[in-house]
Amino acid sequence: MFNVTRPADAPESLAARRSYSEEDVLNKLREIFYDKCYLCEIKDPTSINVEHFDAHQGNLDKKFDWNNLFYVCVRCNNIKLAKYNNLLDCTNDNVDVFRSIKHLPPHTPYQSKIIIEAIFTDEKTIETAALLDEIFNTEKTINKKITGKYLRKKVFHKYNRFLELVNEYLDDELPQTRKDESLERLQVLMSRNQEFSAFIRWVVLEDEYLRELLGASID
């Protein structure tokens, strides 16, 4: 997961309470969440929902509350539903959602399970980790099994690109300009606006050398 900053001013269409997914709402959420699903971190999702962080259950105040609306892909929203309703809030500046839950990428494109591990023992961290584990690893239905395999494969490709850049940076046969370029690209991958950034950041945190090289780029 990744933290974002939500502006206080709500999109104008919410005041009318006709719909919580008007164009101004979607565009603003898309900008705030870096065009990523706030749960799986897939970027440029082809199917999106405006999701209620706290399930509204017919409560109009919650339904049209700007602070309760999040940018999510359809798959993650279908998994979350109202089942997971006590989660870490990535818009809360006092909560470091990234460091609260370990994300470790697959070592192959066909690995059947991704490691998602709660670092803390409070209820919100535990429930958020459980949701993310289901998102990346569920096999409850054939549809979710297939799409989960596709999602893990995409995470692997991002991780593999990270390793390619690390190898370039460490390659003494390459000119310094090429090594410097590789380092710059690695620093970009550390940004929270990048797809699957939590996985790449946790690889860095878990490695002493990479942490010294790239840790300062974790924004």
| Grouped pLDDT means (10 residues each) for the chain, 219 residues | 96 94 96 97 90 93 96 96 94 96 96 96 98 95 94 97 97 96 96 96 96 93
Name the residue type at position 70: F
CB-side exposure of 188: number of CA atoms within 13 Å? 11
- 200/53 Cα distance (integer angstroms): 25
First to last CA, the chain: 13
- 107/53 Cα distance (integer angstroms): 32
Tokens 């001013």 belong to which residue?
9
pLDDT for the residue 219: 83
pLDDT for the residue 82: 86
Closest CA to 202 of 94, 119, 125: 119
Three-state secondary structure of 49-116: EEEECCCCCCCHHHHCCHHHEEEEEHHHHHHHCCCCCCCCCCCCCCCCHHHHEEEECCCCCCCCCCEE
pLDDT for the residue 3: 97
Phi-psi region of 106 (alpha: psi -120 to 50; beta: other; left: phi over 0): beta
Strands 101-104 and 115-118, sheet pairing: antiparallel
pLDDT for the residue 213: 95
**What's the distance, CA 44 to chain centroid?**
12
Residue 85: both structure tokens together: 């309703």
Closest CA to 166 of 209, 216, 123, 130: 209
pLDDT for the residue 109: 95
- 101/198 Cα distance (integer angstroms): 9
pLDDT for the residue 111: 94
